[in-house]
């Protein structure tokens, strides 16, 4: 029997409790897959032949969430941990190639496993009986293959979200998509139109942020061009020779050279998307950043990209070509204009780009050292870090209005240029000296 990691005590308790009540109980799906890959599961799902009301009765002494009980799911909370227990089931008559119109509860585990999407997600485990694997999911894990359970074309049609889930698993684990499964994905890609933009966006962001994003985006390039037509703007090279990279390949190579930080990867994918229109129209490359931002904002609106990603990604695209500083003073002036977290991501973007084109990145290393020094020594680069503020100026007799902001800017520039120490007494004295004569 395969060596399996020790299960949490709460999980063992649930399995034992169901078995003591004469029912079967197995952990199932993604948690089994992750255990076999030596990955700690984020969630633990249990399947059983106990019916929902029987599950509810057995665990009635615990805090239960029964919102999914009509689908056979009861969530049991033990020691502040949630465990999802679901009755063996079969889904019938899918609506809009996504949601089943009818749920039928079953008595056999294998019938429940057959309804699942991929073989690597269709395994179950019980400490006593070991792995239950009717569709060779363990073998697919061994050979790193993603395969639909049963007929791949039927599986893709039943639930079109599976199309993106398969690509996401490839991006996460780096596995190859089995040939018929790949054909089924492409053949049914038109069904993605039935998914909500939010669903598509959620999967797309996970794919983009996967360890093997480059592999997935390349393998299913035409599908992503279908989802986001503007990506076709990247499918050309400004240099007319066979060795030059298309902007698409440059983006993917850059993404493969950076951390899984989603705003950074969004910027790397879309930062050059305005070049095509700008380059063809003018014959020169000029101010494409604004064009890229406009196109990215259109994509964000269509795809429903969350606002928390849009602002920073836009800033990264806007300042992607900023000149790198060579000293502390220049760095502080940049940080007065660009958020420090965003600037850090811009440096990562530049480094990923240089690696992608095989160029040295010593200037980036210098800029990173300067940034680290500013952070470590708490060097002042913004109004927030100044030892004086608008209220102090008002107490000194400044009138409320534009004069306050102008004075603070003047003081900050003096501090950044090392003409003035960020010392409260010195700052107040200097503020007195530059106070406008019309301030009372």
Q: What percent of the chain has pLDDT over 70?
A: 93
Among the residue ranges 61-75, 157-171, 285-299, 336-350, the one predicted with the least confidence is: 285-299
CA 15-17-23 angle, 5° bins: 75
**In this predicted structure, what is the pLDDT of residue 102?**
77
Residue 439 has pLDDT above 80, yes or no: no
Q: What are the sequence ranges of the domains in the chain? A: 9-143, 144-227, 255-378, 383-433
| Mean pLDDT in residue range 69-88 | 95
**In this predicted structure, what is the pLDDT of residue 5?**
79
Q: How many residues does the chain have?
A: 440
Structure tokens at 436: 């406008």
pLDDT digits (tens, 9 = 90+) for 374-409: 999 999 999 999 999 999 999 999 999 999 999 999
**In this predicted structure, what is the pLDDT of residue 242?**
47
Residue 424 has pLDDT above 70, yes or no: yes
Which CATH code is given to the segment(s) 383-433?
1.10.246
Among the residue ranges 10-19, 91-100, 273-282, 344-353, the one predicted with the least confidence is: 91-100
Class of domain 144-227: mainly alpha
Dihedral of alpha carbons 353, 355, 360, 362, sign: positive
Cα separation, 206 vs 370, in Å, equals 33
Among the residue ranges 87-96, 136-145, 179-188, 328-337, the one predicted with the least confidence is: 87-96
**In this predicted structure, what is the pLDDT of residue 281?**
55
Q: Tell me the backbone φ, ψ of residue 122, rounded to 5 degrees.
A: -115, 40
Residue bearing tokens 């966006």: 201
**Mean pLDDT over all residues of the chain?**
93
Cα separation, 346 vs 351, in Å, equals 9
**In this predicted structure, what is the pLDDT of residue 50?**
97
CB 72 within 8 A of CB 89: yes
CB 97 within 8 A of CB 157: yes
| Mean pLDDT in residue range 317-329 | 96
CB 28 within 8 A of CB 46: yes
CB 253 within 8 A of CB 275: no
Q: Tell me the backbone φ, ψ of residue 284, rounded to 5 degrees.
A: -135, 165
Residue 265 has pLDDT above 50, yes or no: yes
Residue 243: pLDDT band with limits 50, 70, 90: low
**In this predicted structure, what is the pLDDT of residue 324?**
95
**In this predicted structure, what is the pLDDT of residue 287?**
78
Which of 231, 170, 232 has its CA nearest to residue 206?
170
Residue 101: pLDDT band with limits 50, 70, 90: low
Residue 96 has pLDDT above 80, yes or no: no
Residue 1: pLDDT band with limits 50, 70, 90: very low
Classified by CATH at the fold level, domain 9-143 comes out as Beta Polymerase; domain 2 (3.30.460)
CB 393 within 8 A of CB 408: yes
The conformational region for residue 127 under phi > 0 = left, psi -120 to 50 = alpha, else beta, is alpha
| Mean pLDDT in residue range 243-268 | 93
| Mean pLDDT in residue range 211-226 | 97
**pTM of the entire predicted model:** 0.90
Residue 328 has pLDDT above 80, yes or no: yes
Q: What percent of the chain has pLDDT over 90?
A: 87
């Amino acid at each position: 029997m395969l060596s399996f990691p020790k299960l949490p005590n709460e999980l063992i308790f649930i399995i034992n409790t169901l078995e003591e009540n004469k029912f079967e109980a197995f952990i199932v799906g993604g948690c089994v897959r992750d255990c076999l890959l030596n990955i700690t599961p984020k969630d633990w799902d249990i399947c059983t032949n106990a019916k929902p009301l029987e599950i509810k009765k057995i665990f009635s002494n615990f805090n239960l969430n029964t919102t999914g009980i009509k689908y056979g799911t009861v969530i049991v909370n033990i020691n502040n941990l949630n465990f999802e227990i679901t009755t063996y089931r079969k889904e019938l008559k899918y609506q809009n190639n996504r949601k089943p119109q009818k749920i039928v509860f079953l008595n056999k585990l294998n019938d429940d496993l057959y309804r699942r999407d991929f073989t690597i997600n269709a395994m179950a485990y019980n400490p006593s009986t070991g792995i239950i694997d009717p569709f060779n999911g363990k073998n697919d894990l061994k050979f790193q293959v993603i395969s639909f359970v049963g007929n791949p074309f039927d599986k893709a049609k039943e639930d079109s979200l599976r199309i993106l889930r398969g690509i996401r698993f490839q991006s996460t684990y780096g596995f190859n998509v089995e040939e018929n499964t790949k054909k089924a994905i492409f053949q049914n890609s038109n069904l993605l139109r039935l998914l909500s933009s939010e669903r598509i966006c959620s999967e797309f962001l996970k794919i983009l942020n996967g360890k093997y994003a480059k592999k997935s985006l390349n393998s299913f390039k035409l599908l992503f061009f279908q989802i986001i037509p503007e990506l076709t703007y990247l499918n050309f090279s400004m240099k007319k020779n066979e060795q030059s990279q298309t902007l698409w390949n440059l983006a993917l190579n850059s993404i493969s050279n950076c951390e899984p930080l989603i705003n950074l990867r969004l910027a790397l994918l879309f930062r050059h998307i305005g070049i095509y229109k700008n380059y063809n129209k003018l014959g020169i490359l000029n101010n494409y950043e604004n064009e890229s931002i406009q196109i990215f904002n259109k994509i964000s609106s269509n795809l429903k990209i969350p606002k928390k990603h849009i602002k920073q990604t836009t800033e990264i695209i806007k300042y992607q070509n900023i000149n790198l500083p060579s000293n502390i003073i220049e760095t502080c002036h940049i940080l007065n204009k660009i958020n420090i977290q965003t600037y850090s991501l811009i440096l990562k973007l530049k480094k990923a780009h240089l690696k992608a084109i095989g160029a040295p990145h010593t200037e980036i290393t210098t800029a990173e050292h300067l940034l680290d020094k500013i952070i470590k020594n708490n060097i002042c680069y913004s109004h927030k870090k100044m030892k004086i503020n608008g209220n102090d100026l008002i107490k000194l007799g400044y009138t409320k209005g534009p004069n306050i902001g102008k004075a603070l800017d003047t003081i900050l520039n003096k501090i950044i240029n090392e003409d003035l120490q960020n010392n409260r007494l010195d700052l107040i004295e200097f503020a007195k000296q530059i106070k406008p004569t019309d301030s009372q």
